[in-house]
Chains A and B, each alone.
Chain A
Amino acid sequence: MAGKMTRRQFIGRGAGAVVLGAAMRPRATGGATPVTITHLDFVTPNDGSPRGNALANNLKAFAEAHPDIKVEVQTIPSTEIPQQLLKSTAAGKPPDVTKVHLPDLSAQVDAGTVEALDPFVSGWDKNDWLIGWDSTTIGGKKWAIPWDYRPTVLLYRKKILSDRGVAVPTTWAEVLAGAVKIGSDNPIGFGIGLSQSQNADSLAELFSCGMISAGGVMFNPNGSTAINSEAGVMTFQWIAELFSKGGTSKAAVNHTYFTIADGLAANTIAMTLLGSQRVAAVAATAKDDAGFAPPPGWSASKPGQSNPLSQTLVVSKRSKHKEEAIRFIEFMTGPRAAVELARGGEVPPRKSSYNDPFFATPPAANVSRLKEILLQRGGHVSAYPPKYWDLKQAIAGAAQSMVLQKRTPKEVLDEAAKKYNVLIGA
């Protein structure tokens, strides 16, 4: 009967299709056996998430373009990557390529787990990168290639703002005023997180944005920290007022990046400063009500700047296939992989990638806007030092002390700076 197969026919046809498909797989060109490189990441290919699908597609494209290189992906939770790289290098069996978060890079350089890439990338176009070539340069050597960029943006819920008559703020003073107007609960005006859990990342990002927007720097040339400079004190003063005037909840003392992003998605937080990597996740729940804007500045004439963070790719010092690793990195950070990367919600790092027509289409609207914010407000990327984690903890501790024990910004920042400087021996 037309349209109905017997089970036998189905199996027969299925088996035939498998055999045919197997016969049609591309053969390795040449007589060389393929080299296998291992790539350590926290995104699992084909796990159903946009990034997972993007990675899977890019891996497939790479396999077609480079049939002589096989890539084996190992995934572990992102928090485990720095340790895993250290441990596996010590054991003599590191992955060839690893995805390292930029602030974690200098520690790996210090520990000698990563290879200096200068000889491999000497022919690359150094001007093709959205942020300067130096963002992953430490001590004059190039240690990693950026995978994406993550500018800090002001994320907000449109309806709450319009309901309370708050225009999208462009200065820190406007943010504070808007937050106080919206209130400290249901919804929270401005989401901030002082917790030392989750690497104390959210406060560090806000703090560095405030400092840099004021023209300050986090670190002096000699490596000691400048968080207690005028710019830092000004930012902390802002934080103190945010709490005292009721622009945020008292519970923020223990909030983290995660609670804030969740709060924004749940419509219980109206505004916050977060990295662009969170935009897609919030938009998934909030749909069109979620908006983002460039970071605020301290005055109308000085627009806000931020230090964009990024994920990067490194090659292990003990890797046995460095050439192949570099080719993999070049592909994954270049124009051929950029469209999938953007579909996954990330901001591709090379200018030439944006020539692709995809970036003029509506699905790429967010990524294109983020790229613009990055270019205009990208600030400078200071080399995050090896003990940056300790500094982040100190900053969070200082803010907790300031809010809970009612101390002055200068006092707590001096203390935190001293703790860090003593630690690094500066």
Chain B
Amino acid sequence: MLESPVARHGPGVARINVRTVAHEWTFERHGFIVVFALPATLLVAAVYLYPILYAFWVSLHQTQFLQLRQFAGSANYLRLVQDPTVWRATVNSVIYMMGSVIVTVPLGLGLALMLNRPLPLMGAIRGILIVPWVISQAVAALLWTWLLEPSMGPVNRLVEVMGHPKVFFLADPVLAMFTVIVVNIWLSYPFPMILFLAALKGVPPELYEAVQLDGAGRWATFRHIVFPFLRPTMLSTVILVSLLYLNMVALIYIMTGGGPLSATETLAVQAFKRSFMEFRIGLGATLGTLILVLNAVFGVGYIRLLRQQDETIY
């Protein structure tokens, strides 16, 4: 009879105990791993390997429209490093990303915890709450621009009715960044919520009971029972939302075009402009590499932050 791993190791179940999983160095085991890992590897490599290499190759060239003209080595990169607008865009990217992550992940988790309770109407409420996620960035941008429009939109009408002078949400540099972050939160909070909701379904209910009998409070229940189960999901969620936010273009570009005064021009918006509006694909590709590096830095950071000793979440 196998011992309960929960009883043995405690609720931090996300451990691979190499003693229970017989680590046989057999052909069969390796064959199995290869077969199971192959489809995903093949799919991603077949579609993306050449394009990614090509994109990097483009970033090493001087380009004219869609043609590669002259090999320039690291010239594009040097140029970018010396360009103050690139640094500003990097800062904007980080502000946009962090400002959104700090709200959407805890918000998604909080909502998931509440929605997990066996109360009536939860199904319908879940349905309502995911609606913003089903809206595309372009629609959200146009919709919210109109809603927030001081001369035509209902939000400012409400502000007026409440006795406050109109707020020019998108006309002020600082307020504009704040506004696009809020719209982003509206659009994307269901993403972590869906993931956490599914993860919570994996928490065995008898654990709740066991702790309840011990007389533990709500917060302790959460911290010691639920959270360890959620840790792997927490990691993947935070990485994925950050990825989404750092690569986001349409929402910001349509609402503000990067302004006013480049206050909302993130790296992704800048890369988009360079490649698709100015047709300078060399610089666009270089910015793309920069975005990749930024993504990777944060990814590694999250892994370090959320990993615990002896635990395998990565």
Contacts and interface: CB of A to CB of B under 8 A. Distances in A.
| Direct chain A–B contact by Cβ atoms under 8 Å | yes
A269, A397, A405 — which one has the most chain B CB atoms within 10 A of its CB? A397
Interface in B248-297: 253-262, 273, 276-279
A285 interface: no
Contacts of A256: 257
A397 B261 contact: yes
B139 interface: no
B278 A196 contact: no
Nearest to B156: A251
Nearest to A401: B261
Given A196-B259, A254-B260, A400-B259, A188 B151 contact: yes
B66 A404 contact: no
A269 B151 contact: yes
Contacts of B67: 90
B166 interface: yes
A86, A186, A254, A396 — which one has the most chain B CB atoms within 10 A of its CB? A254
Contact of A254 (B170, B276, B277): B170
B67, B152, B262, B278 — which one has the most chain A CB atoms within 10 A of its CB? B152
A263 B260 contact: no
A316 interface: no
A404 B150 contact: no
B256 A111 contact: no
Interface string A182-214: 000111100000111111100000000000000
Contacts of B255: 197
Contacts of B260: 194-195, 253-254, 400, 404
A107 B279 contact: yes
Contacts of A396: 257, 259
A268 B256 CA distance: 21
Contacts of B168: 249-251, 253-254
Main SS class of interface, B = loop
Contact of A389 (B146, B151, B278): B278
Interface residues of A, number: 41
B257 A196 contact: yes
Interface residues of B, number: 32
A145 to B, nearest CB: 23
B149 A251 contact: yes
Interface in B173-197: 173, 176
A107 B66 CA distance: 12
B65 interface: yes
Interface string A381-415: 00000010110010011001100110000000000
Interface in A225-282: 249-254, 256, 259, 262-263, 266, 268-269
Contacts, number: 98
B172 to A, nearest CB: 8
B32 to A, nearest CB: 42
A265 to B, nearest CB: 10
B277 A389 contact: yes
A200 B146 CA distance: 18
Main SS class of interface, A = helix
Given A195-B256, A250-B168, A266 B261 contact: no
A222 interface: no
A421 B270 CA distance: 20
A197 B171 contact: no
A220 interface: no
A320 interface: no
Contacts of A259: 145, 149, 152
Nearest to A399: B260
A83 interface: yes
B152 A200 contact: no
A83 B276 contact: yes
A302 interface: no
Nearest to A186: B151
A188 B273 CA distance: 31
Contact of A262 (B65, B66, B152): B152
Contacts of A198: 257
Given A188-B151, A251-B150, A397 B259 contact: yes
A400 B261 contact: yes
A34 to B, nearest CB: 32
24 contacts: A86-B66, A107-B65, A111-B66, A185-B150, A186-B151, A195-B259, A195-B260, A196-B257, A196-B258, A198-B257, A200-B257, A251-B151, A251-B168, A251-B170, A251-B171, A253-B168, A253-B170, A253-B172, A253-B259, A254-B176, A256-B257, A259-B149, A263-B152, A400-B261
Given A195-B257, A393-B273, 17 more contacts: A86-B65, A87-B66, A90-B67, A195-B259, A197-B253, A197-B258, A200-B257, A251-B150, A253-B168, A253-B170, A253-B172, A259-B145, A259-B152, A263-B152, A389-B278, A400-B260, A404-B173
